[in-house]
Structure 1
Amino acid sequence: MSHSASPVALFAMDPVHLGGLFPPAVMERLRQLAEIDPEFVVRDFSDPAAAVALARAEVLITGWGCPHLGAEVLEAAPRLRTVLHAAGSVRQLVGDPFWERGLTLSSAVQANALPVAEYTLAAILLAGKDAFGLRERLRTERAHPGPAEYAKVGNLGRRVGIVGASRVGRRVLELLRPFDFSVNLYDPYVDAAQAADLGAVSLPLDELLRTSDIVSVHAPDIPQTRHMLSRERLALIPDGGVLINTSRGALVDQNALVGELTGGRLSAVLDVTDPEPLPADSPLFDLPNVFLTPHIAGSLGNELARMGTTVVDELERLVAGRPPAHPVHRAALANSA
């Protein structure tokens, strides 16, 4: 940080997000802490005006749409000490030159995890009541089903499998605690005792899939997890099972999933797909056992301000000489989103 009272900060992101992330009250707090021009947002670091601002910047406040912080950008920012990312994943944002400079990085990934977990909880509860399927049936048949149709409905003892103890996965586990679910967890980096502390039983992935009525995916999108839910693994989920994916479409073999869904063996709640957006002729749009949403689980609308507030809280800590509450460490990136 500078020796002056307020560090010099600079916004770098797609300006369309700025107002949502930093509504007036949050922006005012930010301006009390740092010297920053709220009207100036860098989208292209090669812009001459950006170069002038970058030369002075000690803190970079980044977000969706920020270009990669490569060696040339860092060389143009000799005073830069800290990057505060007002979004989730930083995988595309920084590389080796950033870490070699010894810079500090903080992310609002924890804040972004909260609405994803809330969406997931809602999906699990509604799936357990077969709300999606019965709503579709009511819409087409215009009549209530008989008692026999309700025999398999209900959340008492419902078996829920969580794939990945990511920040979202952990928050989902926390939200599931008050309910009468049987919760299992697959995460290769979490042992049985840690899983128990999270409120779940640790299982290998195949065993979790075999013994879950509802499977919710919260693993990171890294090369090792591509199509981790393969054709063979999707086939392990019991008949009538529900797959919820709020992570990334690439974690599921979508062609295999479409096969299971078309046959009616499984149902799905999908907030993410592969590719995204889907081609207009994708069968996922029309299948009655698919509840499809346009990547809305993460922070949107008034939820963006939570991420902006996280950044301002971090800046407040840095100005006070304290370490960030949500640091991103180079070693952790290999296994995170």
Structure 2
Amino acid sequence: MSTDVAAQLFPADEHGELEPEIALVRSAPLTDFDGPEARAVLGRTEILITSWGCPPVSAAVLDASPRLKAIVHAGGSVKHHLSDAVWDRGIIVTSAVAANALPVAEYTLATILLANKRAIDLSRLLGRTHRFDAAADLDRTIGNYGKRIGLVGASTIGRRVIELLRPFDLEVVVADPYLSPSEAALLGVTPLGLDELVATSDVVSLHAPALPETQHLMDNRLIRMMKPGATLINTARGSLVDQQALTDRLVTGDVYAVLDVTDPWIPLPGDRLYDLPNVFLTPHIAGSLGTELRRLAATVVDEAKRIADGRAPQHAVIIDDLKRIA
């Protein structure tokens, strides 16, 4: 992983917490797998802990790692750095995706509740006009009681959002081709087709992975189907949304958007999204940041200790799931 990520996840003064189950082969992180020093480290490594900034774990890297039995990822997706050779050789792979899901779910919960209270746009109205008239500036649709929340994707994050929404007087519906009626019943949600969910929900929140099949999942047709007053929340990936079509609908002023991710990652200077009063933009902050990174570290340390002790990991990544997960 990169040195700055390592400093936040695994401060040097806390390396002692890994003992006695885990002995670090090297205190400083590897930032690449090239050169004799890196190859010497790999030759002694049984468990490789990775995170953001990890270069590809190729067949050549594995050839230099004859003792390697597990890769434990302190992050979400493992697709960006693990090659097919990892799976072919039967190496255990685990990920802290469940730990990273919690702050995203918390962000989603917060923005759902604020969106239905119209807190974001009313705050901007107050700052712009320096006045507030409840009779003129509010309507009968404001509030969270009885609102329909549509989640697109019963992913790890989507399921954490479902858990967090349970205490509230909200109706939760989910569109996911892999969610069976029995699973939906256990989760306490109503399964719907994507069209119906988008057309009837007060909030549409995206929790699907970025796959070829989900490119512009929210296309012009679906965006036009959103009912007036609805809010689209995207904490997944910008590629899930046809951003031009969304912007065109937002310009009309009859829908709202909370966008933690866009395409490109940061909108270009001059993009209309910056100036629209019905848009709330954040720079990809929903996932683990600051103190939340320590949750990732604790998760992977626990996983590494379990594997070192001969126990099964709790968060194994299954190769058959890679085609439908982030």
TM-score by length of 1: 0.94
Deviation of the 1:196 alpha carbon: 2.2
Question: How far does the alpha carbon of each residue in 1:37-75 deviate from its partner, in whole angstroms, 9 at most, with x for none?
Answer: 563211111132111111111110100000111111111
Q: Give CA deviations for 1:106-144 in whole Å, capped at 9, x if unaligned.
A: 100000000000000000000010101111111111111
Q: Which one-letter code corresponds to 1:69 in the other structure? A: V
Give the alignment partner of residue 5 of structure 2, picking from 4, 17, 34. Answer: 17
Distance in 1 of aligned mates of 2:229 and 2:249: 10
* Amino acid paired to 1:214: V
Give the 5 Å matches for 1:106-185: 106-148=94-136, 149-185=138-174
Q: Residue 221 of structure 1 aligns with which residue?
A: 210
Match of 1:301 in 2: 290
Q: Which runs of 4+ in 1 moved over 4 A?
A: none
User: Is the 8 Å Cα contact of residues 25 and 44 (structure 2) preserved in structure 1?
Assistant: no
In 1: Cα distance, 2:42 partner to 2:80 partner: 20
Partners in 1 of 2:274 and 2:145 — Cα distance?
Answer: 31
Distance 1:128 1:47 in 2: 55
Matched residue count: 325
Task: Structure 2: give runs of 5+ residues left out of the alignment.
Answer: none
In structure 1, what residue type is equivalent to 2:96?
A: A
Corresponding residue to 2:21 among 33, 36, 42:
33
CA positional deviation for 1:319: 2.2
Match of residue 74 from structure 2: 86
Deviation string, structure 1 residues 310-332 (Cα, Å, up to 9, x no partner): 01111121122110000001001
The answer on whether the counterparts of 1:185 and 1:208 sit within 8 Å (CA) in structure 2 is yes
Amino acid in structure 1 at the alignment position of 2:308: V
- Deviation of the 1:192 alpha carbon: 2.1
Give the conservation status (yes or no) of the 8 Å contact 2:153–2:176. Answer: yes
* TM alignment of 1:51-70, pairs within 5 A: 51-70=39-58
Query: How much has 1:25 moved relative to structure 2?
Result: 7.2
Separation in structure 2 between the aligned mates of residue 165 and residue 247 of structure 1, nearest angstrom:
12
Show structure 1 runs of 5+ residues with no match: 1-12
Cα distance change, pair 180–15 in 1 and its aligned pair in 2 (3 A)? same
SS in 2 for 1:335: coil
CA distance in 2, matches of 1:233, 1:26: 49
Structure-1 residue corresponding to 2:199: 210
Deviation digits for residues 66-91 of structure 1 (CA, Å, limit 9, x no counterpart): 01111111111111111010111001
Say if 1:26 and 1:305, in contact at 8 Å, map to a contact too: no
| Corresponding residue to 1:262 among 251, 260, 268 | 251
Q: Secondary structure at the match of 1:235?
A: helix
**Distance of 1:307 and 1:72 partners within structure 2:** 28
Compared with structure 1, are the counterparts of its residues 38 and 294 closer, same or farther at alpha carbon in structure 2 (3 Å cutoff)?
A: farther
Q: Deviation at 1:24? A: 5.9
- Cα distance in 2 for residues equivalent to 1:220 and 1:26: 34
C-alpha RMSD of matched pairs (Å): 1.3
How far does residue 93 in structure 1 lie from its aligned partner after superposition? Answer: 1.7
SS of the residue corresponding to residue 276 of structure 1 reads coil
How far apart, in 1, do the equivalents of 2:43 and 2:12 lie?
27
What corresponds to 2:92 in structure 1? 104
- Residue 76 in 1 paired to residue 64 in 2? yes
Q: How many percent of aligned residue pairs carry the same amino acid?
A: 49
Match of 1:316 among 282, 288, 305: 305
TM-score after normalising by structure 2: 0.97
The residue correspondences of 1:41-52 to structure 2 (distance < 5 A) are 41-52=29-40
Shift of 1:232: 0.3
CA distance in 1, matches of 2:208, 2:45: 35
Tell me the equivalent position of 2:225: 236
Conserved? CA contact 1:23–1:305, under 8 Å: no
Q: Which amino acid aligns with 1:257?
A: L
The amino acid of 1:138's aligned partner reads L
